[in-house]
Chain A
């Protein structure tokens, strides 16, 4: 697992209060991890803070799974 993936998963576990095992790459924040729309807003803010990236609202709307978040952040960091 990449550093980014590990960090993303750690943030998801902390913010959504879910077990680590449930936070798979394909897990959907809302459908699988019990988040509501406000939780996802807060989660994206936590990613911004932790990785020092800016995630605009239109991009944030497309981040619905753990993998979406990892891919977006890695792309930002590579750019």
Chain B
């Protein structure tokens, strides 16, 4: 069945697109990230005054030319009502990524060899909330025929495929906050195994709505102590952290078989070097003791790539700013790297944009690739006083120029699902 495993194919990144609380567009977002800016602010998407958590990372509204978001510049009005917000964000990021890659296949054969795998943690929660309220108020007949297809998670992949005519594998990952990494890793595997030459892969999320925020508040997962100082709310590893800050956005990467990319003269950002997964088999929301699942996911990724900890210089941590998770991940990374931890830079970019749930792993994959390209570790904002000392440099407050050959990115999700992915500098 897996004959192609005997002749593994290399996979590279040839395009990237992003919509995030720091704005729209890879160059703009990265420049702000390195400058130490924050995308967190008071919630504007709905009235959150009755909730204990009133801050979030929303994609800023405004013209594309200013690195902001105006859906009218990206999606025809007629199509917008067929998409809940998470799909529209995916369309924005996918459009940038596909244009960046220069891959616009015209032939039927090329189209059939190009697939899409954009996942989401939750999908169309705002649409579900709005339509449930219509039903509850006796207006069941007023539901739009587009409600269901606007809320289904795989419709992000569906809409991207329809827009570009990509007729290859069409798939969608749903693994809570590990979605983004799983999507990139699984899509890379599809290319390596020969199912496709090109995959448009990533994650998207837009759950900053009444029931989304109320639900995470009920799970006691969100920061509630920084409503008056939003930009300080996301503070991974800092002793004052009190939960994650909700973010929204989408990250999409164009992954491509190496020879295919070379042949068409594509710009190559980085190589997808390895991918590892694990399950905790422990608890629905809490990580296991010592975050053993994180350790095993990283270990599997290193084994897949055939690299040792000494060859890795940067880790983009899951680091959500929750009291329990951050130090457990740190513990797992220390166990994985041992003495090699001394030369490691590890940061949590969630400090600037919050936790993008199913999009997190994809936008952090982009940040990892950019760290390799520009030889710089992005900062961990608000890290003034670590709750746990470590030999690992967590890039507190300011970006650091670093020599980086290989970067690791972690994502872990509710249910006890863990994924790690490794990128190497462009071959």
Chain A interface (Cβ < 8 Å from any Cβ of B):
15-17, 38, 41-42, 45, 49
A-B contact pairs, 18 of them (CB 8 A): A15-B78, A16-B78, A17-B76, A17-B77, A17-B78, A38-B82, A38-B145, A38-B146, A38-B149, A41-B145, A42-B81, A42-B144, A42-B145, A42-B146, A45-B142, A45-B144, A45-B145, A49-B142
Shortest Cβ gap from B166 to chain A (Å): 20
Assembly CA distance A49 to B76 (angstroms): 23
Residue of B76, B81, B149 contacting most chain A CB atoms (<10 Å): B81
Assembly CA distance A45 to B139 (angstroms): 12
- Residue on A with the closest CB to B80? A17
- Residue on B with the closest CB to A46? B144
Contacts of A41 on B, CB cut-off 8 Å?
145
Contacts of B142 on A, CB cut-off 8 Å?
45, 49
Q: A38-B82, A38-B145 are in contact. List 11 more A-B contacts (CB 8 A).
A: A15-B78, A16-B78, A17-B76, A17-B77, A17-B78, A38-B149, A41-B145, A42-B81, A42-B145, A45-B142, A45-B145
- Residue on A with the closest CB to B143? A45
- Residue on A with the closest CB to B144? A42
Shortest Cβ gap from B24 to chain A (Å): 23
- Residue on B with the closest CB to A14? B77
- Residue on A with the closest CB to B78? A17
Assembly CA distance A23 to B149 (angstroms): 27
Residue of B78, B81, B146 contacting most chain A CB atoms (<10 Å): B78
Q: Please report which residues of chain B, range 76-110, place their CB below 8 angstroms from some CB of chain A when the two chains form the complex.
A: 76-78, 81-82
Assembly CA distance A16 to B81 (angstroms): 11
Contacts of B146 on A, CB cut-off 8 Å?
38, 42
Chain B interface (Cβ < 8 Å from any Cβ of A):
76-78, 81-82, 142, 144-146, 149
Shortest Cβ gap from A38 to chain B (Å): 4
Shortest Cβ gap from B130 to chain A (Å): 15
Assembly CA distance A49 to B134 (angstroms): 14
Contacts of B76 on A, CB cut-off 8 Å?
17
Contacts of A17 on B, CB cut-off 8 Å?
76-78
- Residue on B with the closest CB to A15? B78
Shortest Cβ gap from A55 to chain B (Å): 11
Shortest Cβ gap from A8 to chain B (Å): 17
What are the nearest 6 A-B pairs in CB distance?
A17-B78, A41-B145, A38-B145, A42-B145, A17-B77, A17-B76
Contacts of A38 on B, CB cut-off 8 Å?
82, 145-146, 149
Shortest Cβ gap from A62 to chain B (Å): 18
- Residue on B with the closest CB to A40? B145
Assembly CA distance A41 to B141 (angstroms): 11
Assembly CA distance A76 to B142 (angstroms): 19
Assembly CA distance A51 to B394 (angstroms): 62
Contacts of B145 on A, CB cut-off 8 Å?
38, 41-42, 45
Assembly CA distance A17 to B146 (angstroms): 16
Contacts of B77 on A, CB cut-off 8 Å?
17
- Residue on B with the closest CB to A18? B78
Assembly CA distance A45 to B144 (angstroms): 8
Assembly CA distance A45 to B149 (angstroms): 17
Assembly CA distance A31 to B230 (angstroms): 52
Contacts of A42 on B, CB cut-off 8 Å?
81, 144-146
Contacts of B82 on A, CB cut-off 8 Å?
38
- Residue on B with the closest CB to A41? B145
Contacts of A16 on B, CB cut-off 8 Å?
78
- Residue on B with the closest CB to A43? B145
Contacts of B149 on A, CB cut-off 8 Å?
38
Contacts of B81 on A, CB cut-off 8 Å?
42
- Residue on A with the closest CB to B142? A45
Contacts of B144 on A, CB cut-off 8 Å?
42, 45
Shortest Cβ gap from A68 to chain B (Å): 19
Assembly CA distance A45 to B77 (angstroms): 18
Shortest Cβ gap from B32 to chain A (Å): 34
Shortest Cβ gap from B80 to chain A (Å): 10
Assembly CA distance A41 to B78 (angstroms): 14
- Residue on B with the closest CB to A44? B145
- Residue on B with the closest CB to A54? B141
Residue of B82, B144, B145 contacting most chain A CB atoms (<10 Å): B145
